[in-house]
Amino acid sequence: MFDDYRSAQTAQNTKINGITLFPFILLRTKEDRNNEVLVNHEKIHLRQQFELLIIFFYIWYVVEYYFWYFKLRNSFLAYKYISFEREAYAKEDDLNYLKSRKLWSFTKYFSK
């Protein structure tokens, strides 16, 4: 993901433009509604949340975040290594992804 720690340091200054809190997608600006890639990324999170009955998604998300945080000692890298985020970032450009996505596809993105 981020092989170079310096690139992670630069990237962590990026602002969050959207967040998904089932059943809502919250975007930073009205213009972000037109950002199909961002909206698709957040829709992937909606699907993940739904298939894990919402509460288990949040529990899993927090547990996985702290696992990576303690392993990597970097909050931004920990966020980027979460399997839910890895799937969403990997597939955000594929606007048809959710039509063919299989149940629990985020498990393919568990890191080694």
pLDDT at res. 15:
74
Can you tell me the distance from the alpha carbon of 5 to that of 11, in angstroms, rounded to the nearest whole number? 10
pLDDT at res. 6:
41
pLDDT at res. 72:
95
Enter the pTM of the model: 0.87
Average pLDDT across each block of 10 residues of the chain; the chain has 112 residues. List them in order. 46 76 96 97 98 98 97 95 97 98 95 63
pLDDT at res. 11:
53
Q: Give CA torsion, residues 76, 63, 21, 96, to 10 deg.
A: 70
Identify whether 23 is preceded by a cis peptide bond (ω within 30 of 0): yes
Q: What does the H/E/C string look like for 21-65?
A: ECCEEEECCHHHHHCHHHHHHHHHHHHHHHHCCCHHHHHHHHHHH
Q: Where are the domains of the chain?
A: 39-97+103-107
